[in-house]
Each structure stands twice: as C-alpha cells, then as structure tokens.
Amino acid sequence: MIKINKLAPPQIIIDNQEQWTKGLNEAITLYGAYDKIPPEEKKSLLVHYRHDDIKQALFASSFNKCAFCECKPGESGNIEVEHFAPKSIYPDLTFDWDNLLPSCRKCNEAKSDFDTITEPIVDPSKTDPERLFTYNYLRICPINNCPQEQAAKNTIDVCNLNSSRLYDVRAKLIKSLTEYTDELKEKLDSIAEADTPRKQKIRITKLRNSLEKIDQLLEDSSVYTGYCRWFMSQCCEYMQAKRLILENEQIDV
Ligand SMILES: [Zn+2]
C-alpha cells in the first residue's frame, strides 16, 4: 500500500451529492431501513456513484490501481468504486468524495460492509501507509509500535492482504527484483575492476541504465510499489549503486 493523492472532486458530485443523498435517505425512511429498499429501486438510487466522471477521477488518483493491494484490476476489468465507510451503515457518505476509494473486486468483497468507523482501518488517501506497514518475506505486517498499529492490523485482516493470491505476486516479485539486484552487483563489480577512467565512465552509464529500470518499478504508477520499495530499501547493492551515481553526478557538475 502507498499513499493515494486524490484528485479534486468531479463537478458532477459537487452539483448532485446533496440531491442524490436526499433521494437515498427518503427511500430509507419510506421502507424503514437501507436493507429494505427494493433491489431495483436501490440500484437506481445508487447508480450515481459509478458515474463515469467519478470513476475516471477516482481511478486516475491511484493510477488505476487498487488502493489496498496495489494490483491493477483495470487490466482484468474489475476496478470498482469502494466506500471506505460502508454505504449500508453510513448512507449519508454514499456520494461523499472523501469516502470513495478505487478497489479491486477481491479487496472490495473481502472488506464488504466492515464498519471502518467503529473499528478503523487505514485509509490510504488520508494516511501514508508506508509509515505503518513493512514486509516479512511474503507477508505484509504493521511496523512495531507505529502510530496506528491496530488499524494497520485490521487492514491486513479485513482486506485479506496476506492471501495466497498476493503471496504468489510477491514471490514473483522477489524473483525478478533479485535478478535486477544481481545485475546491479555485476555492474558494480565491473566498475571496481575498470582500469581506465574511460572504461569506468562507460560502466557507470550502464549502471545508471540498470538503476533507471529499477526506479521505474518504484514509481507510484507501477503495480505493487509498496512491496518493491520495501524490497529495494533492504538491498545493499541498490543503495550502493544509488550512492555511486549520486557521487558521480556531483563530480560531473
Ligand atoms: Zn485489491
């Protein structure tokens, strides 16, 4: 998980939030409860939160990634508008931009109507998850004594972030990131062995190219950025390569 910087609310939600919420609340009053609204009527009252303008702005905020597991469900057609506080318990927040997050179907279904107000989980649009979570091989876990440790634990349980689906993904990432690390090590060794300044310069350029390839995986727009950043933060070859490039940039200046 990484921080999501939500775009400004789309005009359609600013213009209609009050009216849409009023319609939903009137139906709740009429039928006695949210769950008692007839399915077809409920569907037509709720359809607005999936308006194209809302989806576009929301999904763009996370580069089309799930806010919780960081998969890119757009590729399999399953990105959804998720209500952080469930609309069945907090209907007033159904069309509240602050309460909407992009989610994959797996995380959305796992979270279901869990009450995040009485038992908080981490909202990645409000808190930076990288200050709260770390990893232990394939597992995501809360950082010991971090500010919202219980909320971090709840998030992992509620969104099922230690599932076999995500273990598979992380196992594949370990393999490819380890191969990138091997490449860095090879290039660092060859720089150390360079016997002329010219050879050294050429080899440093090659190292820079390898680093750029890795750094692309650590950008917010890439999939599973949180995991890749954690992995590389533990990798001494990556740190060493970064330092070497930085030192050479300073020399070039
Ligand atoms: Zn997800």
Residue 251, pLDDT score:
66
Q: Which residues contact 179 (CB under 8 A, 6 or more apart)?
A: none
Q: What is the pTM of this model?
A: 0.92
Mean pLDDT in residue range 47-63:
96
Find the 170 Cα to ligand 1 centroid distance in Å: 14
Ligand 1 midpoint to CA 222 (Å): 14
Is residue 223 predicted with pLDDT exceeding 70? yes
Q: Note the pLDDT of residue 187.
A: 96
Reported as a single tens digit per residue, the pLDDT across 167-196 is 999 999 999 999 999 999 999 999 999 999
Distance 109 CA to ligand 1 centre (A): 9
Region for residue 32 given its phi and psi (left: phi exceeds 0; alpha: psi -120 to 50; beta: otherwise): left
250 Cα: distance to centroid of ligand 1 (angstroms): 41
d(CA 223, CA 44): 34
Distance CA 108, CA 79 (A): 9
pLDDT at 78 over 80: no
